[in-house]
């Protein structure tokens, strides 16, 4: 069945900054991804990146522009945090993108990185606890209404009869970048998707079991959590056959949605991947 087939996302992350892409380059590759059969497009949510002479654009602004230029792909951050932006602002950005894209928005959320915080005087303390509380806030606001506002008082955030004057139905999914045992537990309890990075297929199986167990303990069906993985592919050092072999290992490990960062010629990689790889997994 189609729902069991793996999905492929084109991600703009460190690969984009290393190539020193312009905003036009990102828009053009997103349009190509939409045209050539990718399922999603992801944009890094950073304040800065490497190298330090690259251009780093604000993620939600870029995603809004992409939304107006595409028709099919899911659009999301990979990933943002609730340290630079209050979770209420993140929730509003998510719902705004969902309106602009006609229901294609997705939030990718992580615990944050020092490189995006410390230089700007933003406190980088207890990031996982802040992420979990922020996630709770966002989910409450996505459901809150004027008639049934949200209230919450935590250690880091609080809500007082709060609601947003935007609503989406269905509510956009929230993916969590979780590479640690504690954050994988948060995925199981609260996440709609899981997107780890730099994990081997063997470890993926083990970590997925932790996510599933946390879901079960929270009274959730683990099948409701979309299991993703960030994957780095080089067009100069590897062939489509190499790509297929790598992807097969992850599919067998349980990955159902890939966020792929192409290194090398981006436009050529998108076209080659759509022609030689995607059809092998969409039969």
Cβ 42 vs Cβ 74: under 8 Å? no
Phi/psi of residue 152, each to 5°? -165, 140
What confidence tens digit (pLDDT) does each residue in 247-264 have? 999 999 999 999 999 998
Show contacts of 206-213: CB within 8 Å, 24+ apart: 208/253, 208/254, 210/181, 210/184, 210/185, 211/178, 211/184, 211/187, 212/188, 213/188
pLDDT of residue 281: 94
What confidence tens digit (pLDDT) does each residue in 109-157 have? 999 999 999 999 999 999 999 999 999 999 999 999 999 999 999 999 9
Q: What is the pTM of this model?
A: 0.96
pLDDT at 4 over 80: no
Domain ranges within the chain, ordered by starting residue: 2-281
Q: How confident is the model at residue 48 (pLDDT cuts 50, 70, 90)?
A: very high
Looking at the structure, give the CATH architecture of the domain made up of residues 2-281: Alpha-Beta Barrel (3.20)
Of the chain, the percentage scoring pLDDT greater than 70 comes to 99
What confidence tens digit (pLDDT) does each residue in 60-116 have? 999 999 999 999 999 999 999 999 999 999 999 999 999 999 999 999 999 999 999
Burial letters 19-36, b for 16+ CB under 10 A, else e: bebeeebbbbbbbbbbeb
What confidence tens digit (pLDDT) does each residue in 162-207 have? 999 999 999 999 999 999 999 999 999 999 999 999 999 999 999 9
């Amino acid at each position: 069945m189609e729902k069991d087939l793996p999905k492929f996302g084109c991600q703009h992350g460190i690969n984009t900054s290393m190539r020193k892409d312009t905003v036009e380059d990102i828009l053009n590759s997103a349009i190509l991804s939409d045209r050539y059969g990718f399922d999603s497009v992801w944009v890094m949510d950073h304040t800065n990146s490497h190298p330090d002479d690259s251009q780093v654009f604000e993620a939600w602004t870029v995603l809004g522009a992409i939304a107006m230029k595409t028709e099919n792909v899911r659009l999301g951050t990979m990933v943002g945090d609730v340290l630079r932006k209050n979770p209420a602002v993140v929730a509003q950005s998510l719902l705004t993108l969902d309106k602009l894209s006609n229901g294609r928005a997705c939030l990718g959320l992580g615990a944050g990185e020092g490189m995006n915080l410390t230089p700007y005087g933003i406190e980088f303390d207890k990031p996982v606890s802040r992420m979990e509380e922020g996630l709770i806030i966002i989910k409450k606001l996505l459901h809150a209404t004027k008639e049934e506002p949200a209230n919450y008082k935590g250690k880091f955030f609080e809500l007082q009869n709060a609601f947003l004057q935007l609503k989406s139905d269905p509510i956009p999914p929230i993916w969590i970048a979780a590479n640690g045992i504690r954050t994988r537990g948060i995925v199981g309890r609260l996440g709609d998707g899981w997107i780890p990075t730099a994990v081997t297929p063997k470890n993926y199986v083990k970590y997925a079991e932790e996510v599933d167990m946390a879901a079960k303990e929270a009274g959730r069906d683990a099948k409701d959590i979309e299991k993703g993985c960030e994957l780095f592919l080089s067009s100069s050092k590897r062939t489509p056959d190499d790509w297929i072999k790598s992807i097969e290992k992850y599919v067998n490990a349980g990955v159902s949605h890939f966020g792929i960062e192409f290194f090398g010629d981006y436009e050529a990689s998108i076209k080659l991947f759509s022609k030689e790889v995607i059809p092998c997994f969409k039969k």
